[in-house]
């Protein structure tokens, strides 16, 4: 399962004729194709899924989404199989 995560556009560049960018996703830098959001500017936030920026969002929406992601992590929703009790693996 893949989930879209908000990130902030740090830089724009062209790669093989495609509009690309470096996105800061919660402190991690990743590259994404920006062809679906041609009007995006450096400093704006976007939702990234499978290497593609899907839409431009404002900073308030990005902050709320990141807060919810953090709550999920803090709750243990993303435990690996090694961290799950044996009874949950069976």
- CA distances (Å), 59 to each of 21, 26, 27, 44, 56, in order? 18, 13, 15, 7, 10
Question: Whole-angstrom Cα distance, residue 42 to residue 87?
Answer: 48
Which tens digit of pLDDT belongs to each residue from 31-80?
A: 999 999 999 999 999 999 889 999 999 999 988 888 887 888 788 777 66
Long-range contacts of the stretch 49-55 (C-beta < 8 A, 24+): 49/2, 49/3, 49/4, 49/5, 50/2, 53/9, 53/21, 53/23, 54/4
Q: Tell me the pLDDT tens digit for each residue of 7-23.
A: 999 999 999 999 999 99
């Amino acid at each position: 399962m893949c989930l879209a995560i908000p990130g902030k556009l740090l830089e724009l560049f062209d790669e093989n004729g495609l509009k690309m960018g470096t996105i800061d996703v919660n402190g991690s830098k990743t590259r994404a194709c920006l062809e679906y959001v041609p009007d995006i500017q450096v400093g704006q936030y976007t939702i990234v899924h499978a290497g593609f920026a899907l839409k431009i969002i404002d900073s308030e929406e990005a902050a709320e989404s990141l807060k919810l992601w953090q709550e999920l992590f803090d709750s243990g929703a993303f435990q690996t199989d090694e961290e799950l009790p044996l009874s949950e693996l069976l």
